[in-house]
Structure 1
Amino acid sequence: MPAESVPAARGPGRPRSSRTRTAILAAAVDLVTEGGLAALSMSSIAARAGVSRVTLYKWWSSPGAIVLDGLLDRSHSSIEHDPSASARDAIAAQMQALITLFTDDGPTAAAIRAVTARAESDAQLARDLREHWHRPRREVAADILRRGIRSGEVRPEIDVEATIDLLFAPIYHRLLVDHAPLGPELVDQLLALFNGFAEPAPRLTST
């Protein structure tokens, strides 16, 4: 399921230019990467993108919403998975894709930190973050786990939503708090703590 874009607060006038939109989103993500939240305002984004603030307010409600939209544009592929993979491999791949996104793409990591921080004081941005960043990712993970339950790969008694929290929350915690390295080894460590995968059936030996 592809990630969604933040719905723009559209006003009257001509449809947005894709070139202008791309310039605005790039400007917002660049500003956050360079200077964090302090560098982010409608004025600074407009100046960097070469547009007017009126243009920004026609399409977005706040600077944070622009950054979130730019973030979604950069990260569509990070929630895709192979439907033929086992439940464990599919979940592991989704976890690894998120870690790779945060560790290999500095602007994306800076943007998610900034948007998360700004969402504390911006109720609309908080809703957008939940609806357009977190919800699609959680839905994909939930689909993988429920498919695993149906196939017998995942224990049927697990709580799907709690399992998603268990496996993915530590990734965000390390990104936001930076108390420990965020690396690929974390995937195996977290999956080892999760006991919801069914044990493989024992092999029958010939006599």
Structure 2
Amino acid sequence: MASTSKTYIVEHLDEELGPWSELEYLAIARESQDMGAKFFLSSLPAAFKAPDALSKIPAFTAESRGVEELYASDKSRVCLLDPAAASDLCPEDGDKFDVFLFGGILGDDPPRDRTSELRMKGFEGRRLGPVQMTTDTAVRVTRLVVQGKTPVNEIPYLDHPELKFNEHESTEMPFRYVKGEDGKPIMPDGMVELIGKDTDKAIDDMF
């Protein structure tokens, strides 16, 4: 029987935290808290200060060390979510791995292969499918598979959904999302409002 105590780690790799990433990380921390899991941001620069709302969530830890230092003694318990991996994440991986690692900001469009460095350090990889996901979606899907025991191809998805802000303004999101019970993409609280505030702004600028 797998322990439900899992750790989700995002290697942030940036000196600052943009408004987009902050909302994503808040969503990850809250959902991790609800599921009895832990959420780490690792490889943080010394000057990095987590927002108060994030720091107050017990499941969250800000960590200056990189994952290769944190788990130097047992890399075999760490699963790297890697688009180039040979096999897809499956429910049985919840028995094999305790820690699930996300290399940098997954929500880049086009994606940057920031995972390659972690791959070279010897962490075993798994895929989450062919379509680019936001960071919170990638963690959500991973949690549904390893804690919820739902196969990755049985999770309901919405690819590239259109967000309508009013009669004249809408934008297509270049990512895959988990489909909520209301039929809409599951997104962090405040994300639609953030995107809607400046629909002309490049999505890359919001991270």
Larger Rg: 1
TM-score with structure 1 setting the length: 0.26
Higher strand share: 2
TM-score with structure 2 setting the length: 0.26
Higher helix share: 1
